[in-house]
Structure 1
Amino acid sequence: MEYILIPIVALLASVLTFFSGFGLGTLLLPAFALFFPVDVAIALTAIVHFLNNVFKFVLVKKHIDWKIAVQFGIPALIFALLGAFLLDKITNANILIEYTLQQNVFQITLMKVIVAILLIFFALFELLPKLKNLQFPKKHLPLGGILSGFFGGLSGHQGALRSAFLTKVGLSKEAFIATGVLIACMIDISRMSVYFTNISNMKDSLQWNLLIVATLAAFVGVYFGNKLVKKITINTIQKIVAFMIIVFAIALGFGIV
């Protein structure tokens, strides 16, 4: 069953997240977690996520806005480390509500609520006419990187904040996708360096055949996403991002992701 469900999720999520710039890990982790222990599921998801971003980078690298990538990506990396450092200090201290639904335990934490509010705030920029045409000055890019990196390190949800910010700095649809991919690769390399020891320790329990199938399915999704990008507008991409941000923020606020 896992050889059917997981590749399907990987393919569909890869197509959708090609445009939004986030969500593959969020959608793929629960699918892996249905069949494997959480630590193994996290490792499998991280590997697929990283390889998927590398493949996307190869396809879209010529459209990268390197100046924005550096201005946004470097602060994101630095503050992701700060957020990760603080994570251990406050993880068990900021649980607001804990509830059980169909034998699953969900936790609403202060950090998740804060990130959810920030995400909905950014999504409103795409939904409210008075705010839709507003763009952030590029001098504020480091601030976007700081927010994305810090909350990414703290809660693991940097992708949505990154995409929400990059949609408002005047990038073309190709540059938005490519620049976001490069920044995601930078973050993934940082994460994988941390995960490497754990992955090495559990290498015997990883399902390598399933990992290969899921990765190939994600690659197929990237291929079709790259074909579709020529047929859509930046406005469509912004609407996709706004919709996914709202859904993601609601799920995050309720402790589901």
Structure 2
Amino acid sequence: MPGMEFGSWVPLALIGLAALLAAGMSFFSGFGLGTLLLPVFALFFPVPLAIAATAMVHLANNLFKFGLMQRHANWPLVWRFGLPAAGAALLGASLMVWLDALPVLARYTLVGMQMEITPIQFVIGALIVAFALLEFWPRFQHMSFAPRWMPLGGVLSGFLGGLSGNQGALRTAFLLKAGLSKEAFLATGIVAAVLVDLSRLLVYGLGPLSTHWAASDDWLAPVAVLCAFLGSFLGQRLLPKVTLDSVRVGVAALMLLIGLGLMVGLI
């Protein structure tokens, strides 16, 4: 929350644990770090800063995973999918900055406290809810697209990545049908994610979000980065052994609650 002291161990523990688990998950599913970490960051930061902080952790972790997996990447597919994604991420990030500058949508009183709903809270909350509901839809887990749709997939996932950080689920759906090995699928997705993160951080850092950074605490993002590194390292070791259906349902439930909280101004 704005103005809150971040020196306590509770925010550090929550974000560190979320980063550890989500980074480990991302080695099995191809996504998960931003999906889980953004709602947790949103508990302690203004929504635009939560998105930017998540992008920093996401980029650092993907660079770490790139070092572990880069030899497996399918580079022709990276250019067909990743370059359109990077360009669309610039547009999505610009839209997020624009939404952050809009006036408050509504104010109300709840148990004596003044609550407000901003456009950025509502839009990001709605996207988080949408992705949470998709996780509960069995067909979504098996959804994939023909290889000819790769550039379009890059545009869609990159735009959503720039706007809200929720890029991985669509990226996974499009890359699944590319005929890649498990290692090549993960490595190609990692490179595409790095391109998107670089694009959106360029917009976040140069725009009005820089004022949020000046007032923020310095510890949460570094703790999240270190825990994400550990999660990725452990995830690589466990890659052949783990299934995640129950974990995905739990994460989706958490996302649904936090997304609804954002939409109605409780977070």
Q: TM-score, normalised by structure 1?
A: 0.71
1:20/1:244 contact within 8 Å kept: no
Work out the number of aligned pairs and report it: 246
1:14 has 2:23 as partner: yes
How much is the aligned-residue C-alpha RMSD, in angstroms? Answer: 4.3
Which residue of 179, 193, 201 corresponds with 2:188? 179
> CA distance change for structure 1 residues 224 and 30 in 2, over 3 Å: closer, same or farther?
same
Whether the 8 Å contact between 1:68 and 1:179 is mirrored in structure 2 is: yes
Q: Aligned equivalents of 2:150 and 2:200: distance in 1?
A: 22
Q: Which residue of 2 aligns with 1:220?
A: 230
Partner of residue 63, structure 2: 54
| Corresponding residue SS for 1:171 | coil
TM-score, normalised by the number of residues in structure 2: 0.69
Give 1:56-75 correspondences, 5 Å limit.
56-75=65-84
Q: Distance in 2 between matches of 1:98 and 1:66?
A: 49
Q: CA deviation at 1:142?
A: 1.3
Aligned partner letter, 1:159: G
Q: Name the amino acid aligned to 1:116.
A: A
**Cα deviation, residue 175, structure 1:** 1.2
Deviation of residue 199 (structure 1)? 6.7
Out of 93, 104, 116, the residue aligned to residue 130 of structure 2 is 116
How far off its partner does 1:189 sit?
0.4
Does 2:171 align with 1:157? no
**Structure 1 segments unaligned to the other structure (5+ residues):** none
Q: Which residue of 1 aligns with 2:53?
A: 44
**Could you tell me how far apart the structure 2 residues matched to 1:177 and 1:50 are?**
15
**Percentage of identical aligned residues:** 46
Q: Give the Cα–Cα distance (whole angstroms) in 2 for the partners of residues 124 and 20 of structure 1.
A: 15
**Residue 249 to residue 207, structure 1, CA distance change in 2 (3 Å):** closer
Checking the alignment, whether the CA contact within 8 Å between 1:135 and 1:169 is kept in structure 2 is no
Aligned to 1:77: 86
1:144–1:83 Cα change, 3 Å? same
Matched, 1:230 2:240: yes
Aligned to 2:4: none
Q: Structure 1 residues 253 and 100, CA, compared in 2 at 3 Å: closer, same or farther?
A: farther
State which drifts further: 4-13 or 142-151.
Answer: 142-151
- Report if aligned partners of 2:42, 2:50 keep a CA contact under 8 Å in 1: yes
For each residue in 1:75-131, what CA deviation from the matched residue of structure 2 results, as whole angstroms up to 9, or x when unmatched? Answer: 222233344555678897xx9x99999987777659957x938x849x65566xxxx
Unaligned residue ranges in structure 2 (runs of 5+):
1-8
- Matched residue type, 2:196: I
For residues 99 and 241 of structure 1, what CA distance do their matches in structure 2 show? Answer: 35
**SS of equivalent residue, structure 1 residue 185:** helix
> Displacement, 1:190?
0.5
Q: What is the CA-CA distance between 1:33 and the residue it aligns to?
A: 3.7
SS of equivalent residue, structure 2 residue 70: helix
1:181 Cα deviation from its structure 2 partner: 0.7
Distance 1:125 1:201 in 2: 42
Q: Is residue 52–residue 218 contact of structure 1 (8 Å, CA) maintained in 2?
A: yes
Indicate conservation of the 8 Å contact 2:77/2:188, yes or no. yes
Aligned equivalent of 2:157:
148
Distance 2:215 2:139 in 1: 45
